Amino acid sequence: MKKVRWGIIGCGNVTEVKSGPAFSKIKHSELVAVMRRDAAKAKDYAQRHGVPRWYTTAADLINDPEVDAVYIATPPDTHAAYTLQVAAAGKPVYVEKPMALNYAQCQQMITACSDAGVPLFVAYYRRGQQAFLKVKELVQSRFIGDIRFVNIKLYQPLQPHLYKHEIPWRVQPEISGGGLFHDLAAHQFDILDFILGPLADASGQATNQAGLYAADDLVTAQFKFDNGVLGSGVWCFSVTEQQQEDSIEIVGSKGRIIFPTFALQNPIQLETAEGIQEFLLPPPVHVQQPFIQSIVEELTGEGKCMGSVSAAARSTLIMDKIVSKI
């Protein structure tokens, strides 16, 4: 494939800045079609972003002969079904995270793409951002020695105004697979998999304390990596503004690294016997662009995607174990 002509299923908010524009800013890549069930919104998106064609059904976009690869940017409840359709059409698939509603669906997607002989990519795009590449470099360069343990803290305040009239899909388990834990911790587990190696096992507890919606709003967990490193985490979405926190702490025999997953306006901190160093590496305007570029390079035979579909499925498996789905 000399050039990758992309189609997007679900041209909603995530595609406005984070991903959509990047497809046409990357060498040997172009966004040629978008799909959304609302015709007016699909047409508007296409006109604003200079996309030649728009559709209101996924099948029409998938079967467009001028679409070489498909980006599925819908909520998780449709990821598996759309992936199977794209694979059946013999086209590469790029799907948003979390990969699917559960680990069983992830396995179905992997099998379908393998049987069809097409690649499957999952949008764990933080692997391509300089901040996380820096953390990986610091760990691999042994600035903090042998890794002992990991601690995740993600505390966000209550937002009652968001749930008064219409419950967002991210906290509807039948659509998202869970709540904000599934939406956000997915990124954290994948980036730790990227930095420290595969996760081996996990357990945890989940509950709803604030009662604003059906999904869990508090999750605690313990997990283990293949290399023996242990980890723990607390995800609470019902604290005050003053209690907000977004940190992953990697503790080693010679020091520690503390870094945010989402609040990238905050620096990475490297703490050793020599003192504290800070690194501030903000993400690009289109946060998925470096990751998408690596996908295009793989599809055109010029490189390798920095993502891992097995790691993406593993992140879902770990979350399933923590909230006792498995």
Give the sheet arrangement for strand 29-35, strand by strand.
Answer: 53-55, 29-35, 4-9, 69-72, 93-95, 120-122
Instruction: Give the SS3 label for residue 8.
Output: strand
Confidence at 218, pLDDT banded by 50, 70, 90: very high
Which residues of the chain form CATH 3.30.360.10? 130-282
Indicate the DSSP class of residue 281. -
Site of tokens 């002992």: 148
Tell me the CA distances in angstroms from 306 to 32, 89, 118, 317, one per residue in order.
24, 25, 17, 20
| pLDDT tens-digit map of 114-171 | 999 999 999 999 999 999 999 999 999 999 999 999 999 999 999 887 787 889 999 9
User: Is pLDDT above 90 for 222?
Assistant: yes
| pLDDT tens-digit map of 161-205 | 778 788 999 999 999 999 999 999 999 999 999 999 999 999 999
Collect all residues with Cβ–Cβ distance below 8 Å to 320 and sequence separation of at least 6: 102, 103, 326
d(CA 113, CA 309): 11
Task: List alpha helices for the chain, DSSP H.
Answer: 13-16, 39-49, 58-62, 79-88, 103-116, 130-140, 173-176, 180-196, 289-299, 309-322
Position 128: which residue type?
G
Take residue 38 and report the two structure tokens written for it: 């609302």
Position 23: which residue type?
F
User: In b/e form, how buried is each residue of 180-212, taking b as 16+ CB within 10 angstroms?
Assistant: bbbbbbbbbbbbbbbbbeebeebebebebeeeb
At 49 the pLDDT is 98
- Going 215 to 217 to 220 to 225, the CA torsion angle's sign is positive
Take residue 186 and report the two structure tokens written for it: 């997915």
How many other CB atoms sit within 10 Å of the CB of residue 168? 15
pLDDT (average), residues 291-310? 98
d(CA 91, CA 68): 6
pLDDT (average), residues 51-71? 98
d(CA 123, CA 72): 10
d(CA 285, CA 176): 26
Provide the greatest CA pair distance for the chain.
60
User: Is pLDDT above 80 for 326?
Assistant: no
Tell me the CA distances in angstroms from 218 to 76, 141, 319, 323, one per residue in order.
21, 35, 13, 10
Q: What pTM was computed for the model?
A: 0.96
Percent share of the chain, pLDDT over 70: 100
At 277 the pLDDT is 98
Could you name the CATH architecture of 130-282?
2-Layer Sandwich (3.30)
The alpha carbon torsion through 11, 14, 17, 18 (nearest 10 deg) reads -130
Rounded mean pLDDT of the chain?
97
How many other CB atoms sit within 10 Å of the CB of residue 266? 15
What are residue 310's phi and psi, to 5 degrees?
A: -70, -35
At 1 the pLDDT is 86
Indicate the DSSP class of residue 227. T
| pLDDT tens-digit map of 227-276 | 999 999 999 999 999 999 999 999 999 999 999 999 999 999 999 999 99
Collect all residues with Cβ–Cβ distance below 8 Å to 197 and sequence separation of at least 6: 225, 226, 227
Which residues of the chain form CATH 3.40.50.720? 4-123+287-297
At 159 the pLDDT is 84
At 320 the pLDDT is 98
pLDDT (average), residues 315-326? 94
At 165 the pLDDT is 81
| 4-123+287-297 CATH, one of 3.30.450.80, 3.40.50.720, 3.40.50.150, 3.30.70.1110 | 3.40.50.720
